[in-house]
Amino acid sequence: MKNIGETIASLRKEKGMTQSELAEKMNVTDKAVSKWERNLSCPDINTISKLANILGVSVEELLKSKNQNYSTTRIKDLTNLIFKVVALAMGISVTVLNILNEIDIKSSIILLSIGLTCIGLYLLNDKDNKI
């Protein structure tokens, strides 16, 4: 999925515009347009509507690619973090409670099973992870 910079660049090229021409229509410098397209900065929130209009798309279409990609990545990262934290917490809990002789074998197995399940879910969720 394209990020917002790639989207701006491809739409500008489809319209046959140079960065300078788009910059002139937007009342910004060509350096600003270049930074947008390289994802070093983003257009000002007050100019997004004008940019979308010039590029012939809706504001939603212009912003959708970046927001979906960012949201999906953040949710996946947060989910993976939760799985790892719960797995670690279960392991530490069993170890500490066992040292203190405050846990029975059945409870230990249940807590370790929860931890192992979280590790399995993490591995399933993290498709880039190489075992």
- Other CB atoms within 10 Å distance of the CB of residue 48: 15
pLDDT of residue 126: 76
Question: In this structure, are residues 119 and 86 in contact, taking their beta carbons and an 8 Å threshold?
Answer: no
pLDDT of residue 77: 83
pLDDT of residue 49: 93
User: How large is the angle between the packed helices 59-99 and 48-55, nearest 10 degrees?
Assistant: 120
Tell me, what CATH number does 41's domain have?
A: 1.10.260.40
Assess if residue 131 is contained within a domain: no
Q: Tens digits of per-residue pLDDT, 17-26?
A: 999 999 999 9
Q: How many domains does the chain have?
A: 2
Asked whether residue 81 falls in the same domain as residue 117, the answer is yes
Assess if residue 40 is contained within a domain: yes
Environment class of 25 (CB within 10 Å of its CB; exposed 0-12, middle 13-18, buried 19+): middle
pLDDT of residue 48: 92
Tokens of 62: 């212009």
Q: Tens digits of per-residue pLDDT, 57-90?
A: 999 888 876 544 556 677 888 888 999 999 999 9
- Other CB atoms within 10 Å distance of the CB of residue 60: 9
Q: Could you list the residue range(s) of the whole structural domain that residue 114 is in?
A: 72-125
Asked whether residue 77 falls in the same domain as residue 43, the answer is no
State if pTM tops 0.75. Answer: no
